[in-house]
Amino acid sequence: MINAKIPEYPLCPSGLVESLIKWSDLVITTFDRFPPRLSVLLACNKFSKPLIDVGVGPQIANVRVWYSREKACIACYSHGITTTLVPSRAIYAADPRIADAAVDIASMYVEGILKGNPVPTRTVVKVENGIIKIETQDLPRDESCSFCSREVETSLSKYKPWEAVARQVRLKRGEDEVTLSGIECASFLKYLENLGYRVAKEYIA
C-alpha cells in the first residue's frame, strides 16, 4: 500500500504517480472528484496506459474506459469541469447493488482490454423502479479534447497535454480573469480557451 496524495488537475501528475502508472499494465481510478481523475488521465496519456474510471452515486454508477487513441477518454464530451474545492460535502447512501454491478463490469473490462478485445467507453448502471439497468456507449474520441491528445495547440504554442505552462499567462472572458502559472498543465490552458477565455497579457510582472 502506498499512501500518497494525488495532484489535482490542473496540476501535472507527480513523479510518484507517473512512476506507478509507467510500471502498470492498466490503471483503475475510483475518486470522488473529477480533478484527480484528470491528473491520472494525463499520466496514462503520457505512457499510453489504459484507464478505467469507476464512479458510484446514490442511484447511478459510471464505468468509463479509455484504452485506444481512437476511443473517447474519460474527459471527452465532459463540459464544465470544475477545479475548485467545494467546502461542504454531500453525504448519501449508495444502493449496494449498483456498486456490485459496477465492480463486476469493471473486472470484465479489465480482462477484455488485456486480451485485446473491444469494450464500451462508457457504461451506466442505474436503478429504476427497483430494477438494475445497464446502458453502454462506445464513443469515438472528441477531436477537441486536450486530455487524450498527443499534442494540443493553444494560442501560445503547441504543448503535450501534461506539460506545464512555461510562463505566467493572464486569460480573460468578459469580466472574468484567470491567471495560469508554470505549475498548471497545458491541457488546462486549452480547456479555458475552449470555454472562450483569451490571452489578455502573455507576461505578468
Question: How does pLDDT run along the chain (205 residues), one tens digit per residue?
Answer: 788 889 999 999 999 999 999 999 999 999 988 899 999 999 999 999 999 999 998 889 999 999 999 999 999 988 766 544 444 567 778 888 999 999 999 999 999 999 999 999 999 999 888 889 999 999 999 998 999 999 999 988 899 999 998 778 889 999 888 888 888 999 999 999 988 999 886 555 4
Tell me the H-state helices in the chain: 15-23, 34-47, 96-114, 186-194
Say what the pLDDT of residue 1 is. Answer: 74
Q: What pLDDT sits at residue 72? A: 97
Coil, strand or helix: which one is 23?
helix
Looking at residue 84, what is its pLDDT? 47
- How would you class 82 by CB atoms within 10 Å of its CB: exposed for 0-12, middle for 13-18, buried for 19 or more? exposed
The pTM is what?
Answer: 0.89
The per-residue pLDDT for 89 is: 62
Cis peptide before 10 (omega within 30 of 0): yes
Please name each of the domains of the chain with its CATH number: 15-137 (3.40.50.720), 152-201 (no CATH)
Determine the Cα–Cα distance for residues 10 and 21; give it in Å rounded to an integer.
Answer: 18
- How far is it, in rounded angstroms, from Cα 84 to Cα 102? 27
